[in-house]
Structure 1
């Protein structure tokens, strides 16, 4: 088996095994920001192993490690890795269960893109995992290509509501503490595993084929009803255009009591700040963007971060599609607007490989959307949306690279798409837009 190496984050991820499931059994004390518990990791070796590593923040101290019920010869943490030396070598194809007991005061890591990972709020906590924040709260194989099922059981003070990925299968209160248990069976990249803790209430928004719930402070409920009113219509449109919603357990929107610089996506969940829920209707573009990530980014996930346009370009184009559908500017009008903006920006970005510094540059988002709009114009609406539905179904809960998309797109036209993709994906200069029909 060939291990995926991500040159954008060469320190992230590990080799020699493939994880199929994480089970996290945790306790979190809000007042002291103290996290402790046990991670049980189910995996299979892909090569003969005597040593293995997991990604884990140095802010968390490991007290015990066992592999297949036997203590390893030794373990140590260094450089953001938990290094484990096994008592004896394991051949390729061996099923392994790694149990790690750990604890500490989690904190985000500093990155090229600001703070990433587990972060204290004024009265609670959140996880903003993209792209490399998962190790700030659990040991893992932290690369987008390594998808696994996840179970989270977490105990915290009873006044707080806890959201994690998947279905809430139990909620039990005892002696001032509540234990929350969530199950996420669909394969999930580690950066999309999340934990949201606050003084929240949950209420149902809609269930028109896909259930939508909101979790937020009671004081923001009126604003939410106004700002997020058209979210069910967005869900209906995106299911029509992109194919069935990819998760069995529906969609949850969390609004924190604190302001957030940008909304965040997680598997089956989007997280907005109080500043995105003001009652003035200014976040509708962002609401559409985060919902679209459930198809593009969370279900169909890049194998390596250089292909980030397959997440952000698609989610940005979903904003334009929603605008077109809901009576705002058409996608063509948005394309011309942003093409003019990009023409005035530096022409030094290659969309299919933007580099670490520009990974989340707005040019990646807008040029990615323009690429899709140009493709739509070239192959026609019928073929274009059939391609999107094929893309989301063919690679559902899988990982992809740019060549996967361009190869699939070529099946939807008899004409060569090579010049289009060479110009938009691999050249720095911004191509001209084709004239409107």
Structure 2
């Protein structure tokens, strides 16, 4: 998601403290059918949405749906709300559509409502011109912007299957989530396109893309169509760059589990982010295409494809746990690059991420990865959610070992695919797989601010022929960790390499040696997030 999000923080301001009460909603949307009419004369859209809702409680007299009302000429004006052909009373209040039920709800019943509306989206559906001056329509819903153009429960905790039935001028191609069900020519000027998902997805990744596209059906992998949708003017470069997705998909599926969606389409778009991981059709910023298959585009693709598992198939139940999406996608990008380029690349990458975390900590010393009081979404789009989340996963891999780590990942995916989770759910899987209690690990790395600051001192005692090593934790709160310690003689020979268990303010050990030593190195392979002196 938003691979270059730091560039865009100033563009986003969503208040979400109240939003995270959504998972206590007395309803559960099961299915959406979005029927949309687009045109080239103006930016107004016409919509007709069918919403199938499971009522989790009985005796509800009204239903509240997220939909931005018209203000200052933009927003959606609802004209009709129906249930089984019966007209229902409704009102619009800023970002809510309030529907009066003509009969109270019964617990566990499913009812379908029809909403007819029209308007010009102020956000969410970006109607503009691409870099070649051609008109385009691109959904850009993250985090809670779907309700600017779609009636929804606009929170990741309420996943649903969906269909997009789009009528648009004939010269456009239309892409959306899921599998294409139909494409029909309605007249000399209009075309109808129908896409449908088979599994539930969160509204943050329910989108359409409508533009003039060149389409490359790159390959099929285990029944998954791998596709590239790019502007015709740069199709050769676009097909070249986006072809990297096949190898990324194969690696992730081999390590995590089956790819969760019907296709993997990589789409050149007008998203305001570097990349947006829309389920089964990833949108990349339009200047992502260069045609050189650079490491930059490879990393971007890896990050967004990783989100298909982490963020889309498994989604955060509450925004406070967004690291479950962003930290995982950031780390799995590095895992893919390690697979591609080797262990040294991983060590260098983790050092770079650790340095970014340390720099962020200097201006945010009291901020943990998971923190409860959030007033603005900007607060969670930060280095902790991305880079520190990745560092924590890297340390967990070190502490568990590769075998148990990968078993935890695949078990986590198998158990929670197409569901919503919080951090405790992942911890529970780690403990289940390893047979150990990891409460200490999750508390210190995810719920507590900061990281270890380690000072290593040593001296060689000629008489006793020993090197005495003192390792001190200089940060305020003591961490429990077991970094590798390496001791080298002046000729470069490694004479000691062991894990040392640190859980005190100071730890002292002695190592026998006949010669003076050149250096003592703690955590030489950058497994653990720390500052070193």
So what's the TM-score if we normalise by structure 2?
0.76
CA contact (8 A) 2:242 2:266 kept: no
Residue 245 (structure 1) aligns with: 259
Matched, 1:206 2:227: no
Structure 2: distance between partners of 1:269 and 1:311: 17
CA contact (8 A) 1:12 1:132 kept: no
Matched, 1:192 2:210: no
**1:8 CA drift (Å):** 5.8
Residue 509 (structure 2) aligns with: none
Matched, 1:150 2:166: no
Of the three residues 52, 55, 70, the one matched with 1:45 is 55
| Gapped regions of structure 1 (runs ≥ 5) | 1-5, 109-116
CA contact (8 A) 1:13 1:142 kept: no
CA separation of 1:11 and 1:137: change in aligned 2, threshold 3 A: farther
Residue 3 (structure 1) aligns with: none
| 1:69-80 map, 5 Å | 69-72=85-88, 74-80=89-95
| 1:253-332 map, 5 Å | 253-256=266-269, 258=270, 260-280=272-292, 281=294, 282-327=296-341, 329-332=344-347
- Deviation string, structure 1 residues 67-113 (Cα, Å, up to 9, x no partner): 233222x21111200011122323223321111011111121xxxxx
Segment of structure 1 superposing worse, 9-18 or 425-434: 9-18
**1:13 CA drift (Å):** 7.8
Matched, 1:387 2:397: no
- Deviation string, structure 1 residues 289-337 (Cα, Å, up to 9, x no partner): 0000000010001111111000000000011011111116533332222
Structure 2: distance between partners of 1:315 and 1:352: 17
CA contact (8 A) 1:321 1:330 kept: no
What secondary structure does 1:43 align onto? strand
- Deviation string, structure 1 residues 50-82 (Cα, Å, up to 9, x no partner): 11110001100000001233222x211112000
Matched, 1:119 2:102: no
Aligned residues: 421
CA contact (8 A) 1:13 1:141 kept: no
Of the three residues 383, 395, 420, the one matched with 2:441 is 420
Matched, 1:167 2:179: yes
**1:369 CA drift (Å):** 0.3
**Radius of gyration: which is bigger?**
2
CA contact (8 A) 1:186 1:397 kept: yes
| 1:129-144 map, 5 Å | 129-144=141-156
What secondary structure does 1:266 align onto? coil
Matched, 1:401 2:422: yes
Residue 464 (structure 2) aligns with: none
Residue 21 (structure 1) aligns with: 31
So what's the TM-score if we normalise by structure 1?
0.91
Of the three residues 89, 96, 99, the one matched with 1:81 is 96
Structure 2: distance between partners of 1:365 and 1:88: 47
What secondary structure does 1:89 align onto? coil
CA separation of 1:96 and 1:136: change in aligned 2, threshold 3 A: same
CA contact (8 A) 2:228 2:242 kept: no
**1:159 CA drift (Å):** 0.7
Structure 2: distance between partners of 1:86 and 1:259: 37
| Gapped regions of structure 2 (runs ≥ 5) | 1-15, 70-74, 130-134, 454-480, 484-522, 526-533
What secondary structure does 1:403 align onto? helix
Q: Superposition RMSD on alpha carbons, in Å?
A: 1.9
**1:126 CA drift (Å):** 0.8
Residue 66 (structure 2) aligns with: 55
CA contact (8 A) 1:342 1:430 kept: no
**1:414 CA drift (Å):** 4.4
**1:200 CA drift (Å):** 0.8
